[in-house]
A and B are shown apart, each in its own frame.
Chain A
Amino acid sequence: MSQFTEIRNKLAFNIKHGNIQGSLEVAKATANFVDLIASSDGWTVASDLLKIVNDEGKKLTTALPLHATVANVLLQLMHIIRAEYYYAVNQSTQAVQRFVESCMNCEEIQEKKFSAQCPGLKDAILDHIAEYRTELDLSVDNITEQAAEQIQPGEVIMTIGRSSIVAAFLQAKKAAEHLSDFQVIVAEGAPQCEGVKMAELLAKSKIQTTLISDTNIYSFMSRVTKVILGTNLVLRSGGLRALPGAHMVGLVAHEHKVPVIVVAPTYKFSSMLSESHQSDNETFNLLANPKGVAKFKDGIIASNVKVLNPMYDFVPPDYVSQVVSNIGTYGVSHMFTAINELYGAVEESAKDLKMAVV
């Protein structure tokens, strides 16, 4: 039990039960929590701070196994703390660059104990965390600014399910050029069928929208000029962990040579390598409640039939063309480097937060 237990429990409760809605709000709340820890008096050297954040982070992610954003933000902030320490110790940006590049070599990292006293380290860390939080606040704007270049007039865009960032992206384009005549085809994304809500959102902004069932994705793809997807996570390999049905969209788009653009802010970039990423207790995918697919009250189904309702879909990096994020647009082959900058080496960040990251 620590001084942060109560705050952590309240945060976990609010996120778990929908009081904090949407991945952006969750990311902001988590960054807030780390800020609180960093500004407290409980630490003097960087290793202490890292230990506290690690411990609290472990408990927080165990309580919220279905929210990958929480783990991502925690890991990114821990990397920031390490980078600031390295800078404070060496007083040069070159050293930091070397630090980042040396992230491939984890022996060097292990030697660094992060225990040297550095005056001004606390302020530097707090500043950097504040910068990170500002970045979070501006993430939606930074992404939607790029909408104008990404979408051309007369485009037919396909998307699946509901993603608030994709909706904002499309709405921004419409708002910027009122007469731009692009149209959007929304696949419903069974069994959640959030595509219906997406179609409502887009229609409210006067975007020409068509709602189709997932089974018709292939037949409509011949008219589509671009696919824009939201995602749960972007993996280091450039692949995605997205909602069920996304793999199918990517596959069909690939066959029709339609570019697939993924809109994802940095807090959705994950340190996981790929779908077969194995570590202590991480799972890539889960089987969720079958109630979306079949009804429990139907005795024949409930007793005799195995009803599968996977939570996520893996989209291989081959099917993805570009990732539009708040730090710029990346080609899929550059994702590995981009994510390294956020998290450090694979081996290094794998040691952080040994908990149930899902």
Chain B
Amino acid sequence: MPPKDKEILKEKEVLQAVVVDDLLSTDFPFSGPKGLLRLANVRLLDYTLSCLSAAGVEQTLVYAAQGSEQLQEHVRASGWGEPGAMAVQVVACQGSLTFGDLMRELDARNAIQGDFFLLTADTVCTADLRPLLLRHRATCARDKNAVVTLAFAQAEPQHAARTEPKQLLLGTAASGRVLAHQRLDPDARNLDLPLDLILQGPGVELRYDLSDPCLAVCSLAVPPIFSDNFDFQTRDDFVRGLLLNEDILGHTMYAHILQDEYASRAHSLPSYLATSVDVIRRWTFPLTPDVSLSQVDRGYRLDVVFNICKQSDVSIGRSDVEDCVIGEGSVIGDNCRLRLCVIGKNCVIHDDVDLCGAVLWDQCVVKKGFKKSHFLAPERTVLSKNNDKSISVKVEERMDSVDSDTDSSEDEGEAADEVDEYENFFNEVQDSLERGFGEKVNTDDLVVEINSSRFANDIPANEVSLWVSKVVLGLPAALKKPPKDVLAYFRPILRKYVGKASADHLNCLLALEVSAQNIFSHAKPFKNNKIAECNSFVCLIKRMINLKKN
């Protein structure tokens, strides 16, 4: 039996939450921290803190990648953190940019005492989080290896809230343990699942009707996992990493599906616009501007008949306005049609404007006759019809095109980056070798150039020989010199890179194959030329064999 004084000295367990305020997506023309982005004219951080306060969280730590002073000021002005209410602490993390970096900071500061809620600053959730916490504790009591319970909201496929380019496929066992977590391409026709999934026994569920609000309950073991794995940058990395290493490290994850509750994220432009509409449509009640969500952005009154949530001093002309949130001092003209719009403070909307699903931040001006739907206009934009020479239409169009094309352009960009490295390397090596041949540079210097190129483009060691061989074999055609001379000149380079290793030999043969294909594909369909090409190709092979002998 433990001595009595130790019991008295034991610290009362404080329920904590960590809000990760990582870098805002570049979609948004906003320079502040993510927590201060306005959703329906109220800062995102207020939504998150309200949700946590409702769950009885006693201490919230906000880890901010940037703008921590602004966040601190907002917290103070809003009255969060007063005695008796939830304590809110903003932690500035210099140099940390991603979710993973901020979690590593969390681990370094050792601020966590037990189970804690983990959310991002852009999570909007009306669910009562207490059942989630209870479920996590019950799971941990049953399964000693459980480290995190992820919460998911339900949203059928084709739902407007599912704005991610790749949708989530979740596989769970009967106990709720996560067995598979994949992001699927909407056009994918096949999917790969681990065999373990099928072998788990009855009650295995595969769900494609979930959206991920980035909400979870974590145990003490989670921050060290981020420190141990430096390549965990996003939450998806973490989830995938845990799943992959389940056998080695033994950590398990569980999933909790929120029933009939609203939870979503506003991290990208499409999801931000979708969440704005949800707030207007009251799905996030009681997290709505008129129900005292924020001490700073207050004074919203709801007109029940037309669902207009507006502050004082708003003047609306003879217009058809329905389902809107309007900030103070805004003026709306006659003959307008506004639906599902969020209008900031002191905006001016002239006559004959038709907007649907628009989000206008403070002090925007919309000129007469403007008509558009589903866009974001940053502060002080002037919007007018295309044939008007207003400056900011370009800004607003960029927002819109990002909205519709965001998925494809993102994918292209990524793929392009990867290929670029090899292409870069290829081009650089080709340039140096061509120049080297022309100026009769010493091959050792050329080797140095190739090496520096290689490190600059981060080419793995086992692929260098492939690319160098490709370059060298393509040089005779590029330089329009006889292969004999070219190959003889570059023999030392080939010898250096295609050494004794059989992998290198294979690479070289592959390069040979590719070069041969190139030669034949470019060859004109005239018999003579083809023979000429064949001859040069045979020549090449002979040269290669001779090289090998040396």
A: residues with CB less than 8 A from B are: 1, 5-10, 12-13, 16-17, 62-66, 280-283, 285-291, 295-300, 302-303, 306-310, 356, 358
Contacts and interface: CB of A to CB of B under 8 A. Distances in A.
Nearest to B282: A287
B477 interface: no
Contact of A6 (B83, B285, B291, B301): B83
A62 B298 contact: yes
B209 A297 contact: yes
The 8 A-B pairs of least Cβ separation, nearest first, read A9-B84, A299-B159, A6-B84, A303-B160, A297-B154, A289-B285, A6-B83, A9-B85
Contact of B285 (A280, A288, A303): A288
Nearest to A297: B154
Nearest to B161: A302
B83 A5 contact: yes
Contacts of A287: 282, 285, 302, 304, 307
Contact of A283 (B83, B285, B302): B302
A64 B85 CA distance: 14
A288 to B, nearest CB: 5
B54 A306 contact: no
Contacts of B323: 306
B261 to A, nearest CB: 8
B299 A291 contact: no
A299 B85 contact: no
Nearest to A19: B56
A193 B231 CA distance: 51
B304 A285 contact: yes
Contacts of B159: 297, 299, 302-303
B295 interface: yes
13 contacts: A1-B83, A9-B83, A9-B85, A13-B84, A62-B295, A283-B304, A285-B304, A287-B302, A296-B260, A299-B160, A302-B159, A302-B160, A310-B304
Interface centre among B82, B84, B155, B262 (most CB of A within 10 A): B84
Contacts of A309: 282
A358 B301 CA distance: 10
A5 B291 contact: no
B155 A17 contact: no
Nearest to B157: A299
Contacts of A296: 153-155, 161, 260, 262, 283
B290 interface: yes
Contacts of A303: 159-160
Given A16-B54, A17-B54, A287-B304, A295 B291 contact: no
Nearest to B274: A303
B292 A291 contact: no
Given A299-B158, A302-B155, A308-B307, 10 more contacts: A63-B292, A66-B286, A280-B299, A287-B307, A296-B155, A297-B154, A297-B155, A299-B156, A300-B158, A302-B159
B160 A290 contact: no
Contacts of B307: 287, 306, 308
Given A286-B302, A297-B159, A302-B160, A356 B292 contact: yes
For chain B, which range describes its interface: under 10, 10 to 19, 20 to 34, or 35 or more residues?
Answer: 35 or more
Given A295-B260, A296-B260, A306-B307, A356 B156 contact: no
A302 B154 CA distance: 12
A281 B299 contact: yes
Nearest to A305: B281
Interface string B148-171: 000001111111111000000000
Contacts of A1: 82-83
B264 to A, nearest CB: 9
Nearest to B322: A306
A299 B300 CA distance: 28
Given A65-B291, A295-B260, A356-B298, A8 B285 contact: no
Contacts of B312: 280-281
A6 B85 CA distance: 7
Contact of B291 (A286, A298, A307, A310): A286
Chain A's interface: helix, strand, loop or mixed, by majority?
loop
A358 B288 CA distance: 14
A283 B301 CA distance: 6
Contact of B292 (A65, A285, A308, A310): A65
Given A9-B82, A9-B84, A290 B156 contact: no
Contacts of A302: 155, 159-161, 278, 281, 283
B84 A306 contact: no
Nearest to B323: A306
B17 to A, nearest CB: 15
A310 B282 CA distance: 11
B161 A62 contact: no
Interface string B256-277: 0000111000000000000000
B126 interface: yes
Contacts of A307: 281-282
Contact of A17 (B56, B154, B162, B298): B56
A347 to B, nearest CB: 20
Interface string B325-359: 00000000000000000000000000000000000
Contact of A290 (B158, B283, B290, B304): B283
B88 to A, nearest CB: 13
A311 to B, nearest CB: 9
Contacts of B84: 5-10, 13
A62 B156 CA distance: 37
Contacts of A282: 301
Contacts of B160: 299, 302-303
Contacts of B83: 1, 5-6, 9
A4 to B, nearest CB: 9
Nearest to A61: B292
B291 A306 contact: no
A244 to B, nearest CB: 12
Nearest to A309: B282
Contacts of B157: 299
Contacts of A290: 281-283
A306 B281 contact: yes
Interface string B184-225: 000000000000000000000000010000000000000000
Contacts of A286: 290-291, 302, 304
Nearest to B209: A297
A296 B162 CA distance: 12
Interface in B433-467: none
Interface in B287-328: 290-292, 295, 298-302, 304, 307, 312, 323
Contacts of B283: 289-291, 296, 302
A16 B56 CA distance: 11
A280 B153 CA distance: 37
Nearest to B126: A289
Contacts of B126: 289
A358 B156 CA distance: 35
Contacts of A298: 156
A300 B261 CA distance: 17
A85 B291 CA distance: 35
B304 to A, nearest CB: 5
A288 B291 CA distance: 10
A8 B79 CA distance: 13
A66 B293 CA distance: 12
Nearest to A299: B159
A174 B84 CA distance: 44
A285 B154 CA distance: 29
Interface centre among B158, B160, B161, B292 (most CB of A within 10 A): B292
A135 to B, nearest CB: 28
B325 to A, nearest CB: 13
Interface in B78-135: 82-85, 126
Nearest to B301: A283
Given A17-B54, A296-B155, A297-B156, A288 B282 contact: yes
Contacts of B156: 297-299
B139 to A, nearest CB: 24
Contacts of A65: 291-292
